[in-house]
Amino acid sequence: MARILTSIIPIFAVIFLGTALRRFRLIDDAFVKTANRLIFYICLPVLLFHKISTASLSQTVQWVPISMMLATILTVSILAFLTAKVLRWPLKTGGTLAVNSFRGNYAYIALPVCYYTLGNQGLVIGSVFMAILIPFVNTLAVVSFTIGGAKRFRFRPILTSTLLNPLFLACVLGLAASIVHLALPAPADKTLAIISQVTLPLALLSIGGGIRFRAMGWSHPRLWVGTAFKLLLLPFLGYLALKLTDTPIQLPEQVMIVMLASPSALVNYVMADQMNGDPELSTGIIILTTIGSVFTFVFWLHIIGL
């Protein structure tokens, strides 16, 4: 437990440092927006490409935990819709609840947790998992909002946004480089390594700087149901799948649980706003899961034997 706390506390200390820096106006919205663009278009793609391209795919592409992860995500999305229906919540609430229940902040929080708790190989495996997660959750998110009474489902925009996603492109190029055993010149490799080292701390500061505490009806049951689905039910079902199939919990399975236990992604708010979902509910779940994951990450890391 001491090892887990030693790894987790600094991660969230940096996140809340970002919140404090913005509170005291040492950073502002312009900084957060610029940092997010830099992270999304440059730093994270470089990190993903660098880690995947130098990885051994036979050790990092583990289809058992990947398939369990995808099945768990799909199951929770269905359960979220059923819960909303049973409780007679509006359809748009069901779509927003579903997306925030399965779509986690893999890049900004899950990858740092993988790296700082599971080491460099954990980060490599997490990066490879993202190559599969990105197109899957993007498609499922659009389908969920469409079922929730948003706009008509169109496949082409989903395909275009996925193929042009810098993180997805970096993962695919990294996989290709690993397959052909591409060896970069030493100066290029060192340059990528330096940029990669900037990525995770900057991402954590950016997450913290983007947190807003507003009057949002914190007692509303929809908010707490969504938070429980994301931080507790989703990783629990993943863990249950491992136990029911007698799958040994090794590094890939630990990475799987970390990915499933990550808080809701910031992009969920953007999609809820643009696709006639419930942006206020989405914002509340994002904030509450980010704060709550301080404690649930400790719990799940302990459960999986860290």
Please compute the mean of the pLDDT values over residues 35-55 and round it to a whole number. 92
Of 142 and 81, more confident: 81
Asked if pLDDT for residue 216 goes beyond 80, the answer is: no
- Look-up of token digits 């919540």: 89
Asked if pLDDT for residue 151 goes beyond 60, the answer is: no
Question: If we measure between CA atoms, which residue out of 178, 108, 99 comes closest to residue 136?
Answer: 99
Could you tell me the CA-to-CA distances from 41 to 5, 45, 50, 119, 166 in Å, in that order? 32, 7, 14, 24, 6
> Environment class of residue 57 by beta-carbon count within 10 Å: exposed (0-12), middle (13-18) or buried (19+)?
exposed
Whole-angstrom distance, CA of residue 65 vs CA of residue 259:
11
Of 209 and 241, more confident: 241
pLDDT band at 143 (very low <50, low <70, confident <90, very high): confident
Asked if pLDDT for residue 101 goes beyond 80, the answer is: yes
What is this structure's pTM? 0.89
282 contacts 100 by C-beta, under 8 angstroms:
yes
218 contacts 244 by C-beta, under 8 angstroms:
no
Please compute the mean of the pLDDT values over residues 198-226 and round it to a whole number. 82
Look at phi and psi of residue 68 and say left if phi exceeds 0, alpha if psi is from -120 to 50, else beta: alpha
pLDDT band at 218 (very low <50, low <70, confident <90, very high): low
pLDDT at 217: 61
Asked if pLDDT for residue 36 goes beyond 80, the answer is: yes
Q: List domains and CATH numbers for the chain.
A: 2-303 (1.20.1530.20)
Asked if pLDDT for residue 215 goes beyond 70, the answer is: no
> Taking all residues of the chain, what is their mean pLDDT, rounded to a whole number?
89
